[in-house]
Amino acid sequence: MNAAFDDNRARRNVTVLVFAQAILGAQMPMVFVVGGLAGQSLASNICFATLPISLIVLGSMLSANPISAFMQKFGRRAGFCVGTTGGALGAAIGAYALYLGSFPLFLLGSLLTGVYMSAQGFYRFAAVDTASDAFRPKAISYVMAGGLLSAIVGPQLVKVTAQSMVIPFLGTYLAIIVLNILGSFLFVFLDTPRPQVASEDEPRGRTRLELLATPRIAVAIICGMVAYALMNLVMTSTPLAVVGCGFTTDNAADVVSGHVLAMFAPSFFTGHLIARFGVEKIVAAGLVILAGAGAVALAGTDLENFFIALILLGLGWNFGFIGATTMLAASHTPEERGRVQGMNDFLVFGGVTIASLASGGLMNCSGGSAVEGWKAVNLAIAPFLVLAGGALIWLTFHTKAQSGPAE
């Protein structure tokens, strides 16, 4: 086997990345559970309650291209350590902002937390750096499955820490600092290829515009954007909706926990399903399941509705996002890696940023009650599902028309 595609080496790296996803990834459900609630307590206008979460996603979007370029030059390990530094610093500023009662400072901390979120997004790409074509979808799935433990640990840490100090949620942000410091040591064991400095006569690959003009890459990015953005749109509002409908913060944490479990538990078999049925069918299944999540949410606001809708939301995201990532990973050359992966995550998290910003406005400023706001959030997903579904259908017909391998 080519040394560049050593599956034994890839499996070792996947193990490290699974632990990183499990330990470091726990901070993401933590900030998504408490970010909107903390923002609601600090903001002068409740329409801005989810702005801290939006700033996390904005930070991730702005960091995507720089971190990708940094990794292309200095390696995955260095890039992931930059991510944990951003996560720890963002949590420290967030904790200090809660102590001072400063909403602007809390937003700054949230923006820096986005640096970690962006770096975490590259775990899935690092998993395939040394993987063969056959192992690639499984490697991505296994790394994403590491989020299963984070789905348990994160919300449970919220329960323990949210009210552990006089200032609500301060203990949660202090716990996030500890997670980032301890988790950084995992990357000592990561063994990905050292970046090679390209000589003048080596191929540079396609430009960003040429990459975007490639049908398979364009559709992969669209489906990834829609799957992630819609998941974030609904999840961002969930704690506010659960509490607004008369349930407790612990209930909200349990719903988010169920959601994150559903995001990552299917990863144990998603790669196998992609290998058996093809990536396009799995992405399509994800879009259908996301539509089902919206239908359940619109059917009522009992606690069971929240649980079922958010579980379906997580499952749909898993199929849609892992499928889109697999499609993208097979559509570019090694010299294009940093360019296409950074561009993809910039666009994906750009869409997620818009969704997150819209979530707070729809939830808190669309009608006079939490029920009406929740309905508005879930109605908003329909046109984007149509967009992604249409793009996927177009790609299928385009591929058949080419009478050859997909571009």
pLDDT at 116: 95
**Confidence category of residue 297, pLDDT binned at 50, 70, 90:** very high
Residue 222: how many CB atoms within 10 A of its CB? 22
CA distance 29 to 45: 24
Among 348, 358, 360, smallest CA distance to 63 is for 348
**Confidence category of residue 201, pLDDT binned at 50, 70, 90:** low
CA distance 8 to 14: 10
- Please state the pTM of the whole predicted model: 0.74
Q: Find the angle CA(261)-CA(262)-CA(263) to the nearest 5 degrees.
A: 90
Which DSSP letter does residue 203 get?
-
Is 90 exceeded by the pLDDT of residue 86?
yes
- The CATH class of 3-185+206-402 is mainly alpha
Q: Alpha-carbon dihedral of residues 249, 250, 251, 255, nearest 10 degrees? A: 100
Using an 8 Å Cβ cutoff, are 21 and 146 in contact? Answer: yes
Tens digits of per-residue pLDDT, 133-166?
778 878 888 887 887 888 788 888 988 998 889 9
Is 50 exceeded by the pLDDT of residue 368?
yes
Secondary structure E strands in 52-149: none
pLDDT at 97: 95
pLDDT at 193: 75
